[in-house]
Amino acid sequence: MVLAQLGGSISRAIQQMSNATIIDEKALNDCLNEITRALLQSDVQFKLVRDMQTNIKKIVNLDDLAAGHNKRRIIQQAIFNELCKILDPGKSSFTPKKGKPSVVMFVGLQGSGKTTTCTKYAYYYQKKGWKPALVCADTFRAGAFDQLKQNATKAKIPFYGSYMESDPVKIAEEGVERFKKENCDLIIVDTSGRHKQEAALFEEMRQVSEAAKPDLIIFVMDSSIGQAAFDQAQAFKQSVAVGAVIITKMDGHAKGGGALSAVAATKSPVIFIGTGEHMDEFEVFDVKPFVSRLLGMGDWSGFMDKIQEVVPMDQQPELLQKLSEGNFTLRIMYEQFQNLLKMGPIGQVFSMLPGFSAELMPKGHEKESQAKIKRYMTMMDSMTNEELDSSNPKLMNESRMMRIARGAGRPIRDVMEMLEEYKRLAKVWSKMKGLKIPKKGEMSSLSRNMNA
């Protein structure tokens, strides 16, 4: 079960329970069993799920539910807290300091995406002003050095490796020394992965670790690894001092539940996730926004941060006001399109709202999406003020649509498509009605009034 489905199943289970006329122990148990099933199908480790179920039962007070409090919110909040607890090991990982040489070593099974992730990690910090370098201490896999070389060259990151030397310990030592001399402040060491957990691999890893003396060891895990995630992560942790986890291939049909297991096994935080094969398909991982998106609660903290980052200061209160009024006009849609086009990688703000981004701007089709939005805007330019300010597009009869199409030089079906898109977005927008937008960092009112 992929993560989006997991969120859907959990939400449905909660919805079903809150629809029940009597909330008794049985209704709560049914709901929790449903959630348990969904989590197990997503490869969350059995013990974690069982503990979570026990904790929720302890926290949720049946009397509160029966007394007509917002049942959905109470359960959702309890699940939210429990999932956050699993994903948050309660300590942060080492973060490199600019200008001070740090060594970060990557470990993981072959094919987990380790080499790709090394470059993504280097590239991420390079963009922020660090001076990273890559060392290929993977002498096991033929082609590993070529792959790293190719990635590093593309990102203009210095690299070190050898076609001749077969001792990864020596390469790691030499590479780290060299880049320290060259004043690199983030030296990344890629190590060999094997098909399965082998004693020799772990011994080699320990030796490389002793030679490279890393400040941080990152365990890279493929999100589709399934129920094996816990044991695998634990095996790595027992061999070397894993301090952080990166989960890759979160874009695919992966069952993301392994992420929860990996955190539990390594007691280390997930710091990034990989969301594609490209260098910039790499996201910082934050527990609360992740879980709230998972549960379809909308990522309010991320949303507020993004609004503050990309919407001009003087327009922020107005946008929030419009959101809470829930009255979506074509003019608001026009203004939001303007915002989207202005801020570079399209969809940053609205992709945080459940339901907003996936259809309007599917990932990987940004160019087409931009062209589509521009087309819609050209058509809206041919509309009257009355049409733009109305939240009832029925106002537009066929002859008006034809006029608009002609004015914009587009076929009438494009106008109809644009109005369909408007209706869809209006529906999403209407869910924000009455919403108390939380202040930055305030998570307690996350789910309020989200009548999704």
Please give the residue ranges that form the binding site for ligand GDP (CB under 6 A).
Answer: 108, 110-116, 147, 193, 248-249, 251-252, 274-277
Name the pairing type of β-strands 270-274 and 282-284: antiparallel
CB of 336 to ligand GDP, least distance (A): 29
> Amino acid letter at 99?
G
Backbone region of residue 216 per phi and psi (left: phi > 0; alpha: psi in -120 to 50; beta: other values)? beta
User: Residue 293: which of 273, 269, 318, 313 has the closest Cα?
Assistant: 273
Report the alpha-carbon distance of residue 428 to residue 431 in Å, rounded.
6
CB of 223 to ligand GDP, least distance (A): 8
209/224 with CB nearer ligand GDP: 224
Number of other CB atoms surrounding residue 145 within 10 Å: 22
The continuous run of DSSP H or E covering 68 comes out as: none
Number of other CB atoms surrounding residue 129 within 10 Å: 9
237/249 with CB nearer ligand GDP: 249
| Partner residues linked to 134 by β-bridges | 159, 188
CB of 42 to ligand GDP, least distance (A): 18
**DSSP letter (8 states) at residue 1:** -
178/363 with CB nearer ligand GDP: 363
9/116 with CB nearer ligand GDP: 116
Residue 101 backbone phi and psi in degrees, to 5: -65, 125
189/425 with CB nearer ligand GDP: 189
27/250 with CB nearer ligand GDP: 250
Q: Is 75 helix (H, G, I), strand (E, B) or coil?
A: helix
CB of 352 to ligand GDP, least distance (A): 20
CA angle, residues 67, 69, 70, in degrees to nearest 5: 145
CB of 249 to ligand GDP, least distance (A): 4
108/347 with CB nearer ligand GDP: 108
Please identify the residue of the shown chain whose CB is closest to the bound ligand GDP.
274
**By CB neighbour count within 10 A (0-12 exposed, 13-18 middle, 19+ buried), where does 427 fall?**
exposed
User: Residue 190: which of 268, 133, 234 has the closest Cα?
Assistant: 133
285/328 with CB nearer ligand GDP: 285
Residues 6+ apart with CB under 8 A from 376: 333, 337, 418, 421
CB of 277 to ligand GDP, least distance (A): 4
CB of 139 to ligand GDP, least distance (A): 13
CB of 51 to ligand GDP, least distance (A): 29
Do residues 355 and 8 touch, judged by C-beta distance below 8 A?
A: no
CB of 280 to ligand GDP, least distance (A): 11
CB of 113 to ligand GDP, least distance (A): 3
CB of 115 to ligand GDP, least distance (A): 3
Report the alpha-carbon distance of residue 437 to residue 196 in Å, rounded.
48
**What's the token pair of residue 197?**
């957990």
80/272 with CB nearer ligand GDP: 272
109/360 with CB nearer ligand GDP: 109
Backbone region of residue 43 per phi and psi (left: phi > 0; alpha: psi in -120 to 50; beta: other values)? left
71/120 with CB nearer ligand GDP: 120
Report the alpha-carbon distance of residue 334 to residue 317 in Å, rounded.
18
Do residues 45 and 264 touch, judged by C-beta distance below 8 A?
A: yes
67/284 with CB nearer ligand GDP: 284
User: What are the C-alpha distances in Å from 326 to residues 319, 351, 427, 437?
Assistant: 11, 18, 9, 12
Helix axes 46-59, 25-41, angle to 10 degrees: 150
Q: Is the dihedral of CA 254, 104, 271, 257 positive or negative?
A: positive
CB of 148 to ligand GDP, least distance (A): 9
**What's the token pair of residue 171?**
């390469």
